[in-house]
Structure 1
Amino acid sequence: MTTTTPQQAPQAQAKRQHDVVIMGGGLAGLTLALQLKRRFDDIDVLVLERRSHPVPHAAHKVGESSVEIGAHYFDTVLDLKPHMQGEQLRKFGFRFFFSEGRRDIDQVTEIGASRYLSVPSYQIDRGIFENYLAEEAARRGVRFVDHALVRKIELSEDAHTPHHLSWTQDGETHDVAARWVIDACGRAGMLKRKLGLAEPNAHDANAVWFRIGERITLDDWSDDAEWRARCEPQARWLSTNHLVGAGYWVWLIPLASGSHSVGIVADPRYHPLDTMDTFEKAMDWFAKYQPRLFDELDGKRHLLQDFAFFKNFSYGCKQVFSGQRWALTGEAGLFLDPFYSPGSDFIAIGNTYITDLIAHDRAGHSVTARAQLYDQIYHSFYESTLALYQDQYGLFGDPEVLPVKVIWDYTYYWGVLSQIFFHDRLTDLSLLGSLKDELQHSQRLNIAVQAMLRAWSGASQKRNPAVMLDQASLPWFAELNRSMNDTLDDDAFVARIRASVAQLRQLAEEIRERALECDPTLDDSALRLLLEENRPSRAAGEAAMLFDAPSPSPSRNTAELA
């Protein structure tokens, strides 16, 4: 196998026909190239990247926080664990502080885990990571060309005729043919624009962000030894920290290079973009809404590394996989919301589907029907996840309801989608088909619970006591996280999904009861009808064993976190 470096790639490219051409050499494109090379040692992959390499550390791209699916994809599926553990930071989970207008962070409600849970995730310096991915792809035989601009794409509609592309580098034009063309060029969305695939969604939110060239050690914001000792290690700064209020959240994400990423994500109905779309405006906004962070940043203004914003950042896509041997991955396709950091997850899922489609094509099979099914499933995951965000920003400042929402959202994510990915059933259409009713029920349940949470928040008192709501103290919750590491045969996997759905039903009933205790006049009809539609079976009883013994009224599973 010939290894080429990014600088050597143009000269090494004597061959003009490629199995796969990936337009875009960022996170989505490079990880797909690595996944393809792990699946097929002899596959010819060309990656065309617009930026020159190496890219800068820290102030390169946002999307630094990963969660369990994306982390598992990087460290296990792609076999990058030495880099993830040695060159990036292990994330201390998500953490939330209801700190609007406050400087005393130790006197507000905190959501988070007091210790690391079983399955790791990472804070990723995108510059360090993408430089490494480019070098690793070249080592594995991928032809990587930086500073390359794709000028023309001609897609073939014939199953036997290759696609054609033209690209330039330093004024020189190159014409290549490709069996498969993959768009991984981010929001530029070359194929999306060419094919008219852009599709808006109903989630309206904006984001601003910047990097500061010094670590923000949130643990130092209090001298209270008891508050510090609530976590082991005493390193809250390693979390993706959220400072939350009605209609917005602020992120604090540490980077291995020593910088810190800071962002504001807001629903414009509460906080319009023009109140924060420059660094000075953002600082004025922090002074009003998150004054302790303002204090931290005020003396670091000279360490500002970049500043950027996106207006209405969330969008869909009519189609991402095609039987005509093209696909979109990453932000070239669709994008949800940075809350819960699903970007790397959808890269992992999308790339896995693309790799499987290419595998079937290489085996001589038609991929038309399979591509259509994968597209439907992928969009189903997208719609389910979108429900976590759409019209939910108003309750982000609610210390009574948001902790329950976070538990629900995690239970849904770890119990369903994560189980499918970790247990390598993403492309098992027969097995997923046998679980169609359960998966659809969980999706409908999620939508109904999100509406119930929204209604509950409208009635809650939003009390903000000085407590830490420790997710690690819930044995069933920690076990759900650990269970992703199990090895399951088909029967055990089916039982796991059915038990997860039963667990979700039990949790949904408790959320409904808590909301109605707050305000008996709330409309619970949608959720109640869903829960009545499928009465708990033996599977529900088995799932209940994951929960603690009944705790004091009003709820067995949510009381400690609300």
Structure 2
Amino acid sequence: MLQPIDRADVAILGGGLAGLTLALQLRQQQPDLSVAVIERRAHPVREAAHKVGESTVEIGAYYFADVLGLREHLDTEQIRKFGFRFFFSEGSHAIDDCTELGVSQLLPTPSWQIDRGRFENHLGTLARERGVRFEDGAVVRGIELADDAADHVVRYGTGEDERTLACRWVVDASGRAGLLKRKLDLARGNDHVANAVWWRVDEIVDPNGWSGDAQWLQRCDPPDRWRSTNHMCGPGYWFWLIPLASGAHSLGIVCDAQMHPLETMNTHAKAMEWLRAHQPQVAASLDRAEHTLQDFMFLRDFSYGARQVFSRQRWATTGEAGVFLDPFYSPGSDFIAISNTYICDLIARDAAGTGFEPYVSLYEQLYFSFYENTLTLYQDQYPLFGDERVMPLKVIWDYTYYWALLAPLFFAGRMTDLATLGRLRPAFEDARALNLAVQPLLREWGRRNAGRPPPQARLLDQFRIDWFREMNRALSDTLDAPAFVARIEANVARMRWLAGELLQRARGDHADIDDGGLEALLEAPGGEPAGASLAAEWYARVAA
């Protein structure tokens, strides 16, 4: 039965994490705006929802907690994350004999492990309370985009009922369904070819339960390794363990498609056999009766880009409906935060009648540059993941790159500050050039290390690196524009110094290693930042 045409200023297609947070942000910033969300799943959804994106890092965590004001929910209904933790545990039957990379204490800037079902139920309730028209259990059946100033039209419904919604803006937040991507042929692949399988089990899986060594158990304060996003690393893959507040544990294998074919793990039985070969201690733990299987899913070639994400025709995409990188550093909620921020700004400019059109291409260029620069952290790097000499240094470099530029930009609310971004362009270009030289250096260093015996097992405690800890803390600093520019420039100087340290140590292992042009970049002026001595001590422990 066809219902009368209704209208909203903004129609959001998809009421998952990306769509509901966008709806809340729009209502928060523009209370007079009418917003409708059309979601195919009926609410409430079950907890431990069958989705990836449970681990947050600084940008996404700040977006949820401070931009959207959800800190109380995160503190009381989700799990405070104990950072990323990496175990170089290929073939290991004894976790305490493996090199461990992580923090011994919580870093200053918080992040959380998100039970997606619980979180999205909370977001849906808040959306309705705050005046969002949230149509759950509804399927989008058609989208008609206007070529001029006329409204777009979305047809949706449940069962035999069909409804029509006119809207000035339409935003695709439908995830991998990619409603607008399919309609407009926006799909674009990339050269990062990786696969993933993941599942949930009942009860928390605690790595501390794998050891009886009192000294090892007490190396962390609090001794809560289970709260970390634990990465069990080996050549060409990593395995995640993420705790969920509902009492389940999220597990997943992510791997280079050539080194570990998807066909070796695309059922739960196969995945467990794969774990018995590569992570036997994990497999033995998961075989216990209390860890009942809840679900299982796999994705082939999960990483992709898009030809376009924002349009002068008043449409946009956000979340996985646009681009998706890789779950290794948990950037999914970061890119939701960034795209939602740009979409809100475009809609606000349109509503104010000040002309949003010139900003569409500017924001899209920025968004794609963030995507492309972040992609370099993953692409062709999976063979390195089992190298416990080089991989810890790569992790430090990748964190530093993230905390030096993109994270402070978001925390400072300067994603749309084009004047400041213009002043920072040389710093961003310098940082990009450094990263493009460092990543192949790390890759070649790892390749040359093949067959070299591993170092003695130890904890590589990132908390002990004073400048590293300070970069994390400084994300919350409030700075005026000149001080902010100076901070970013100092961060890039830190990157230059760190790149020099990496090159020096790579040449210490392999004197003739190709530096990929890094030495020439390092000839640019820049002194050694304060706090280098402690970092040098830590590096020495890595190389030992």
Which category describes the TM-score, using the shorter chain as reference length?
A: over 0.9
1:223-264 superposed Cα distances (whole Å, 9 cap, x missing partner): 111001100001000000000000000000000000000100
- Residue 298 of structure 2 is aligned to residue 309 of structure 1: yes
My pick for the range that moved more, 431-440 or 24-33, is 431-440
* 1:176-208, Cα deviation, whole Å (9 max, x unpaired): 110100000000101011111100000000000
Report SS of the residue matched to 1:244: strand
Indicate the residue corresponding to 2:515 in structure 1: 524
* Cα distance in 1 between the residues matched to 2:172 and 2:101: 38
Match of 1:184 in 2: 173
Aligned counterpart in structure 1 of residue 125 of structure 2, from 125, 135, 140: 135
Q: Distance in 2 between matches of 1:496 and 1:186?
A: 36
Residue of structure 1 equivalent to 2:46: 56
Shift of 1:132: 0.6
Q: Find 1:81's aligned residue among 71, 94, 98.
A: 71
> Kindly tell me: are residues 23 and 387 of structure 1, through their superposed partners in 2, closer, same or farther at Cα, counting changes over 3 Å?
same
Is the Cα contact below 8 Å between 1:510 and 1:557 reproduced in 2? no
What letter matches 1:150 in structure 2? V
- Residues 50, 147 of structure 1: 8 Å contact kept: yes
Identify the residue that residue 394 of structure 1 maps to in structure 2: 383
1:174 is matched with 163
Q: Is 1:473 aligned with 2:457? A: no
Mean Cα displacement is larger for which, 517-526 or 424-433? 517-526
Deviations 1:396-449 (Å, cap 9, x if unpaired)?
000000000000000000111001000111000111011111112211211111
Match of 2:61 in 1: 71
Aligned AA for 2:447?
A: G
1:367-516 equivalences under 5 Å are 367-460=356-449, 461=452, 463-516=454-507
Instruction: Say if 1:91 and 1:239, in contact at 8 Å, map to a contact too.
Output: yes
Does structure 1 residue 362 correspond to structure 2 residue 351?
Answer: yes
Compared CA separation, residues 97 and 397, structure 1 to 2 (3 A) = same
Q: How does 1:92-491 map to 2 (within 5 A)?
A: 92-158=82-148, 160-300=149-289, 303-460=292-449, 461=452, 463-491=454-482
Listed one character per residue, the Cα deviations across residues 46-84 of structure 1 (whole Å, up to 9, x for unaligned) are 000011111111143121111010000000000001100
> How far is the alpha carbon of 1:475 from its aligned partner?
0.8
Aligned-residue offset at 1:23? 0.1
CA contact (8 A) 1:59 1:305 kept: no
Contact 1:507 1:557 in 2 (8 A): no
Deviates more, 1:460-469 or 1:45-54: 460-469
Query: Residue type of the partner of 2:131?
Result: G
- 2:437–2:516: 8 Å Cα contact kept in structure 1? no
Checking the alignment, whether the CA contact within 8 Å between 1:548 and 1:557 is kept in structure 2 is no
Q: Name the SS of the counterpart of 2:308 in structure 1.
A: coil
Cα deviation for residue 557 of structure 1 reads 6.3
Q: 1:9 is matched with which residue?
A: none
- For the residue of structure 1 that corresponds to 2:473, the secondary structure is helix
Alpha-carbon distance, 1:556 to partner: 6.0
Match of 1:4 in 2: none
Give 1:6's aligned residue.
none
Q: How far, CA to CA, are the matches of 2:537 and 2:96 in structure 1?
A: 27
Q: Structure 2 CA distance, aligned partners of 1:19 and 1:323?
A: 16
Q: Does 1:36 align with 2:17?
A: no
* Aligned match of 1:22: 12
- Decide whether aligned partners of structure 1 residues 240 and 105 sit closer, same or farther in structure 2, where only a CA change above 3 A counts: same
Deviates more, 1:520-529 or 1:241-250: 520-529
Out of 346-355 and 301-310, give the one that drifted further: 301-310
- Residue 392 of structure 1 deviates from its aligned partner by 0.2
The count of aligned residue pairs is: 539
* 1:549 and 2:533 aligned: yes
Task: Report if the CA contact (8 A) 1:59-1:306 is conserved.
Answer: no
Where 2:212 maps in the other structure, the secondary structure is coil
Counterpart code for 1:530: L
1:72 counterpart letter in structure 2: Y
Q: Note the C-alpha offset of 1:268.
A: 1.7
Cα displacement (A) at 1:530:
2.1
C-alpha contact 2:4 2:163 (8 A) present in aligned 1: no
The answer to whether the Cα contact below 8 Å between 2:89 and 2:279 also exists between their aligned partners in 1 is: yes
**Structure 1: 5+ residue runs without aligned partners?**
1-12
Matched letter for residue 66 of structure 1: T
Deviation at residue 529 of structure 1 after TM alignment = 2.2
| CA–CA distance in structure 2, aligned partners of residues 27 and 548 of structure 1 | 40
The residue type paired with residue 153 of structure 1 is I
Q: CA deviation at 1:120?
A: 0.4
Do the aligned partners of 1:388 and 1:409 also contact (CA within 8 Å) in 2?
A: yes
| Cα RMSD after superposing both structures | 1.4
Corresponding residue SS for 2:517 = helix
The answer as to whether partners of 1:206 and 1:266 remain within 8 angstroms in 2 is yes
In 2 relative to 1, CA 300–480 (structure 1 residues): closer, same or farther, beyond 3 Å?
Answer: same
Aligned-residue offset at 1:300: 3.4
Contact 2:5 2:164 in 1 (8 A): no
State the one-letter code of the partner of 2:65: D
The secondary structure found in structure 2 opposite 1:16 is strand
Look up the equivalent residue of 2:232 and give its one-letter code. L
TM-score between the two structures when normalised by the length of structure 2: 0.97
**For residues 56 and 69 of structure 2, what CA distance do their matches in structure 1 show?**
16
Displacement after TM superposition at 1:301 (Å): 7.8
2:539 is aligned to: 558
Percent of aligned positions that are identical:
55
- Higher mean alpha-carbon deviation, 204-213 vs 438-447, is at 438-447
Unmatched 5+ residue regions in structure 2?
none
Q: In 2, Cα distance between the equivalents of 1:511 and 1:99?
A: 24
In structure 1, how many angstroms separate the alpha carbons of the residues matched to 2:67 and 2:541?
A: 36
- How many angstroms apart in 1 are the aligned matches of 2:424 and 2:49? 43
Distance 2:285 2:378 in 1: 29
Tell me how far 1:462 sits from its aligned partner: 5.5
Conserved in 2, the CA contact under 8 Å of 1:213 and 1:304? Answer: yes
Distance 1:445 1:94 in 2: 24
Deviations 1:136-180 (A, max 9, x none): 11011100001111111111121x211111111232111111010
**Cα pair 1:415 1:480 within 8 Å, conserved:** yes
Q: In structure 1, the residue corresponding to 2:457 is in which secondary structure? A: coil
